[in-house]
Chains A and B, each alone.
Chain A
Amino acid sequence: MHASSVTPLLTESSRPIFEWRWVERNADAIGQRLGEHIALTATALGIGLVVSLVLATLCLRYRWFYPLVLGTAGALYVIPSLGAFALLVPFFGLTFTTAVIPLATYTLLILIRNIVTGVQQVPAEVREAAIGMGFTRGRLLWQVELPLALPVVIAGLRVAAVTTIGLVTVTSLLGMGGLGYFIRAGIQTTTPNPSPIIVGVVLSVVLAVVVDLLLWLSERALAPWVRKVRAR
């Protein structure tokens, strides 16, 4: 990298904090890492959501299962990300799998809790009306209860997504890391280069805000009744 050119120590501090030139020169790499960041986040969230839906469904049917699942998810949530990666690396190596497993695991606690709470707060009359119309248990869940729980589920998904986007940067230790790659690259040159660090941090925050906003918009599109009820 250009930073490895010999620079006298005294003039080093005159280096600007941020250089647009760096961004222009590395536009392709930035796009590629951004894509990687999104791919890691989406995979982790997707797996987390599917597992959570299965577990939450079981929890709703068998009540004794819920404290057990919540306790396990809570304990897994306590595990520090670096510790989790460290336990997986000897078995899965420096791979996408090693990065995704902990990321997906961290989403379980909030997603399961929000799905179960969301379904539980569906009004009893609605449920009775559906049963009266001949809905089976499965159709009741998928066509009545889960859609009505959608705002709560999406609220959980928003928290999970924002947290995951921040955590992805840590996977740069595994050679993944999406935008975290730049954060790490900034201190691996002979003279530390602030531009990639700033690009990595700022883009990661921007990505989190954009995804949060998109999920919020999708809630308004998928559950328009929430707004109508509030407006009334």
Chain B
Amino acid sequence: MNVFTQLGEWLSAPNRWSWTDPAGVPYRTVEHLWFSVLSLVVAAVLTIPLALWLAHYRRGAFLASSAVNIGRAIPSFGLIILFWFLASRWGANTDFWPLLLALVGLALPPLFTNTYAGVVQLEQETIDAARGTGYREWQIMLKLELPLASPVIVAGARVAFLQLVATVAIGAIVNDGGGLGRYIVDGFAEGAQGYGEIFGGGLAVIILALLCEGIFALLTRWATPKGVALQAARRD
């Protein structure tokens, strides 16, 4: 049977467009996004304050520069399965924790490195000027360094989120979740019969990833403080 005929059948299956049925593409899309956004938020809460503080006092430069490389070398697939094993041994919820922990772990390095780099690259005169006008150190961090570094931080979040969306799909191998990756993994289990489902799931994941990338492109523009954007425009 032709792949596209199979795809058509898959697309027109009952409940395929349901928001509440696990077979539905909308249901799985929400699940996919929920996992990605949750882990990005957790990772951001864990890293951004720490990186901000370390960068303000210029500590941990080595960690900042090597974090991304270490993160790249760790296979996300292995991380998920390893956490799945630990969760099942300790009796934790294997549908939730392994994937979440693996995702948070993946999102940490790009967020940390970019926050650090974004703060360190700021002009020292700006910081000194703020200090001269009586800003406390925590005020400099929150009111100056954080907003000025925000375009670089959002760029890090974009890299992280892209990886998260790709990895949630892989998570379908070990648990019931896995968002849109569910279709791909289930399709693989059916062999040639599942080609329509594999293809449809693949298309859905790719479209979601491209949409997220587009939204982040807009977010980058929105995250750039007006003053910084003006300066950049004048320089061009």
Give the B-binding residues of A (Cβ under 8 A): 13, 75, 78-87, 89-91, 159, 162-163, 165-167, 169-170, 172-173, 180, 183-184, 186-187, 192, 194, 197-198, 200-201, 204-205, 208-209, 212
Contact = CB atoms under 8 A, between A and B. Distances in A.
Interface string B127-168: 000000000000000000000000000000000001001110
Given A86-B201, A173-B188, 18 more contacts: A81-B170, A83-B201, A83-B203, A83-B205, A84-B202, A84-B206, A86-B205, A87-B203, A162-B72, A163-B72, A169-B77, A170-B77, A172-B77, A180-B75, A180-B77, A183-B78, A192-B88, A205-B75
14 contacts: A80-B165, A83-B203, A84-B206, A86-B202, A165-B73, A172-B77, A173-B185, A173-B188, A180-B77, A187-B85, A192-B89, A194-B85, A204-B73, A208-B72
A110 to B, nearest CB: 11
B81 A186 contact: yes
Nearest to B203: A87
Given A80-B166, A82-B170, A82-B205, A90 B81 contact: no
A170 B170 contact: yes
Interface size class on chain B is 35 or more
Interface string B192-212: 000100110111011001100
Contacts of B209: 78-80, 83
Contacts of A159: 72
Given A78-B209, A90-B199, A187-B85, A204 B3 contact: no
B78 A197 contact: yes
Contacts of A183: 75, 77-78, 81
B160 to A, nearest CB: 13
Given A80-B206, A180-B77, A205-B73, A186 B166 contact: no
Contact of A162 (B69, B85, B174, B206): B69
A208 B202 contact: no
A80 B162 CA distance: 8
Contacts of A198: 82
A75 B72 CA distance: 20
A166 B68 CA distance: 13
Given A82-B181, A83-B205, A90 B3 contact: yes
Contact of B75 (A75, A91, A201): A201
B76 interface: yes
Going nearest first, the 7 A-B pairs with the smallest beta carbon separation are: A86-B202, A80-B166, A201-B78, A83-B205, A208-B73, A90-B3, A90-B195
Contacts of B79: 201
B122 to A, nearest CB: 24
Nearest to B197: A86
Q: Which of A86, A198, A201 has the most CB of B within 10 A?
A: A86
Contacts of B117: none
A226 to B, nearest CB: 19
Contact of A85 (B85, B174, B202): B202
Given A83-B202, A205-B73, A186 B165 contact: no
Q: Which of B78, B184, B202 has the most CB of A within 10 A?
A: B78
